[in-house]
Chain A
Amino acid sequence: MLISPDTALLEAHSISKSFGENAVLRDVDFTLKKGELVCLLGVSGAGKTTLFNILSGLMLPDSGQVLLNGVDITGHPGKISYMLQKDLLLPYRTVIDNVALPLMIHGVPKARAREKAASYFQRFGLQGTEKKYPKQLSGGMRQRAALLRTYLASDGVALLDEPFSALDTITKSAMHAWYLDIMREIDLTTLFITHDMDEAIKLSDRICILSGRPGNIICEIPITVPRPRPQDFLLTQEFLDYKRKIAENLTV
């Protein structure tokens, strides 16, 4: 607990979880500050998704606590938003009704929910898609719609599980730039999972490496390069140094 509690938005205190004999997480401590973009890196099976399920309240930890603004939200879903690996736009709802869904679930009347959702369409590059169905959108658009829905699901903390992994390289790169912009604009705090080291270094303020069995955060690597990071950042020695450092810590 090096960070003073007034700046911490989301905190996890000694989270442990086992499934039967199989201990997945042990005493995971973790803090997310307001406005940060933190990446959770780890080999498959290190418990990243389990940690996300616990943070989002979908799963109860065996021990430990999750705090949002100092309030215990352990096992209480609906407080922070969670975007799963697939975009999961519901095929039978129009784009506007998909995006407005979290508001409707929180009890906002249909018309008001749609109105509020529609007010973000321009900013998310979704104008004109309101009445369409998800199948009619391109991959990048679907992802933006899912991100807007994720954003509307809470007041500013988003957990993203490999949000860009299904996109092709060019779309992905465009989405990165767009996400960094929109995040600042709408004051979003993000914790995301990825397998892609380049993506992690390019986007994050801080990279947390989850490793071991049972999993624990074995090191945190701050990326101190200021934003916006230049296009050729990926080609610099600095970038490679970060990459080496991560690779050294990412052991099975």
Chain B
Amino acid sequence: MTKKLPSIISKISPALALLAVVLIWAAATGFSLVPSFMLPTPRAVARAFIGDFPTLMRHASVTLTEAFLGLLLGVLLAFLLATLMDRFPTLYKALYPLLVITQTVPTIAVAPLLVLWMGFGMAPKITLVVITTFFPIAVSLLDGYRSADPDAVSLLRSMGAGRVKIFLYIKFPSALGSFFAGLKVSASYAVVGAVIAEWLGGFEGLGVYMTRVQKAYAFDKMFSVILFITLISLLLMWGVTGVKALAMPWERKEKEKKK
């Protein structure tokens, strides 16, 4: 019994912290410490969220399509490049600095160029998502490949395994853990990347909708969009965790044993 209480507290503490933030927000707006045109009350945001829900969903379907396609392409590209870079050390040396540079170029600065080059359709958005998601995955895959136990590689070589089999049996499975860590980060980047690209021009999508409500000074709607994007990102990250549990059943077994 004495042991249970702290564990309950530790479980609900994040919820309590969230509640505290909402309460402070409600107090600040409710007692007019902050004018309501600058910061709407939680209730107004909730009302806007419910009222706007069909519109939000319609725009979200566009944004999510862009995010998913971008993420998919980003993962494929990262996988291809990381695998080649791991195989050929010269390529690794040549491309690694370039990889870091693609990450330090600010997304917001590139987005207008992409719109100029590719127009107002989905192409520039998907491209931007690819640019932002590609790096964390490529780097985590590279680190993962390198984390493979050299003794395990020797063991497989002593069994007569060639490069391909060493990759399949040792390198790739060793990299899975850090791959999913990278994917989790990238999944949240993907949505944000798509939204930022939509700000700069387009016909549909959560980013386009955001700029519209912003220009109308509809702050309650603005906040409800932000809330919605946060929820989508969270859901995506949970999704990645779920896929990871399916793809790496041995990790689950270890936890079960510890219990």
The reply to whether chain A is a binding partner of chain B is yes
Task: Enumerate chain A interface residues (CB-CB to B < 8 A).
Answer: 56-58, 77-79, 81-82, 84-86, 88, 90-93, 101-102, 105-106, 132-133, 135-136, 153
Shortest C-beta distance, A210 to chain B (Å), equals 20
Q: What are 23 of the A-B contact pairs (CB < 8 Å)?
A: A58-B154, A58-B157, A58-B158, A77-B160, A78-B160, A78-B161, A79-B160, A81-B158, A81-B159, A82-B155, A82-B158, A84-B151, A84-B154, A84-B155, A90-B152, A93-B173, A101-B156, A101-B169, A105-B160, A105-B161, A132-B253, A135-B253, A136-B257
Instruction: Specify which of B154, B176, B253 is in contact with A136 (CB 8 Å cutoff).
Output: B253
Shortest C-beta distance, B161 to chain A (Å), equals 5
One digit per residue, 1 when the CB lies within 8 angstroms of any chain A CB and 0 when it does not, for chain B 159-197 equals: 111000100011001101000000000000000000000
For B173, the closest partner residue in chain A by CB is A92
Choose among B157, B158, B250 the residue with the greatest number of A CB atoms under 10 Å from its CB.
Answer: B158
**Cβ–Cβ contact A77 & B152, under 8 A:** no
Choose among B159, B165, B253 the residue with the greatest number of A CB atoms under 10 Å from its CB.
Answer: B159
Chain B residue contacts of A106, Cβ below 8 A: 159-160
Shortest C-beta distance, A190 to chain B (Å), equals 15
Give the docked Cα–Cα distance between A2 and B157 (Å).
33
Shortest C-beta distance, A53 to chain B (Å), equals 8
Shortest C-beta distance, A51 to chain B (Å), equals 14
Shortest C-beta distance, A60 to chain B (Å), equals 13
**Cβ–Cβ contact B151 & A86, under 8 A:** yes
Give the docked Cα–Cα distance between A153 and B37 (Å).
74
Q: Which 10 pairs between the two chains have the least Cβ-Cβ distance? A: A78-B160, A82-B158, A92-B173, A133-B250, A102-B159, A105-B161, A56-B158, A105-B159, A133-B253, A92-B250
Instruction: Specify which of A88, A91, A153 is in contact with B250 (CB 8 Å cutoff).
Output: A91
Chain B residue contacts of A84, Cβ below 8 A: 151, 154-155
Instruction: Specify which of A91, A105, A136 is in contact with B156 (CB 8 Å cutoff).
Output: A105
5 new A-B pairs (CB below 8 Å) besides A86-B151, A105-B159?
A81-B159, A88-B149, A88-B152, A92-B176, A106-B159
Instruction: Specify which of A90, A102, A133 is in contact with B254 (CB 8 Å cutoff).
Output: A133
One digit per residue, 1 when the CB lies within 8 angstroms of any chain A CB and 0 when it does not, for chain B 131-161 equals: 0000000000000000001011011111111
Give the docked Cα–Cα distance between A90 and B159 (Å).
14
* B235 beta carbon closer than 8 Å to chain A: no
Give the docked Cα–Cα distance between A85 and B158 (Å).
14
* B248 beta carbon closer than 8 Å to chain A: yes
One digit per residue, 1 when the CB lies within 8 angstroms of any chain A CB and 0 when it does not, for chain B 3-46 equals: 00000000000000000000000000000000000000000000
For B177, the closest partner residue in chain A by CB is A92
Instruction: Specify which of B149, B152, B165 is in contact with A105 (CB 8 Å cutoff).
Output: B165
**Cβ–Cβ contact A90 & B154, under 8 A:** no
**Cβ–Cβ contact A92 & B154, under 8 A:** no
For A79, the closest partner residue in chain B by CB is B160
Chain B residue contacts of A58, Cβ below 8 A: 154, 157-158
For A53, the closest partner residue in chain B by CB is B154
Choose among A56, A85, A90, A102 the residue with the greatest number of B CB atoms under 10 Å from its CB.
Answer: A90
Q: A90-B152, A90-B170, A101-B169 are in contact. Are A135 and B254 (CB under 8 A)?
A: yes
Give the docked Cα–Cα distance between A85 and B152 (Å).
11
**Cβ–Cβ contact A90 & B169, under 8 A:** yes
Chain B residue contacts of A93, Cβ below 8 A: 173, 250
Give the docked Cα–Cα distance between A66 and B224 (Å).
74
Shortest C-beta distance, A128 to chain B (Å), equals 15
